[in-house]
Amino acid sequence: MKLPALACCLLAAGLIFGGCSLTTVSGGEEITVVAGERSDGMFFDPAEITVAPGDTVTFVIKNEGSQDHEFESNQEGEAGIGEIIIPPGGTRRVRWTAPSEAATFPFYCDLPGHRAAGMEATLRVVPDTEQR
């Protein structure tokens, strides 16, 4: 195969496969969140995340458990983070921009029984003048 044809094929493959990773976005400070199970229930770690108003962050959600988990805050009045499914051993990234005013939102796993087993945490938007 000639060099220009090879270059075109590689470019096309990159464009095609690059568009397939819809759950991976980047931007802003990275905040790692671990999801999993333990003997006393299910968890997110950390249990509370605090950001400044207007900050753009990227949540890096790592599932260290043995079952699927979700990361979301999508009900009316919540953070507007749609359902992200993280398979066991998997990692997903989601970019989020905090509102311009102070607020507190839950984030949780909405799979049956998971939220009740402890998979809910808090996302706080706090101005720099307050404790973060």
Q: CA distances (Å), 10 to each of 20, 85, 108, 116, in order? A: 16, 30, 40, 48
Cα-to-chain-centroid distance, residue 40: 24
Kindly tell me if the per-residue pLDDT of 4 is higher than 70: no
Q: Which CATH code for domain 23-125?
A: 2.60.40.420
Query: What is residue 10's predicted lDDT score, i.e. its pLDDT?
Result: 47
Judge whether residue 24 has pLDDT over 90.
no
Which residue is associated with the tokens 């402890």? 118
Using pLDDT thresholds of 50, 70 and 90, give the confidence band for residue 23: very low
Domain ranges across the chain: 23-125
Higher per-residue confidence, 129 vs 34: 34
Q: What is the mean pLDDT of the chain?
A: 84
Rounded to a whole number of angstroms, the CA Rg of the chain reads 18
- At residue 131, the pLDDT reads 56
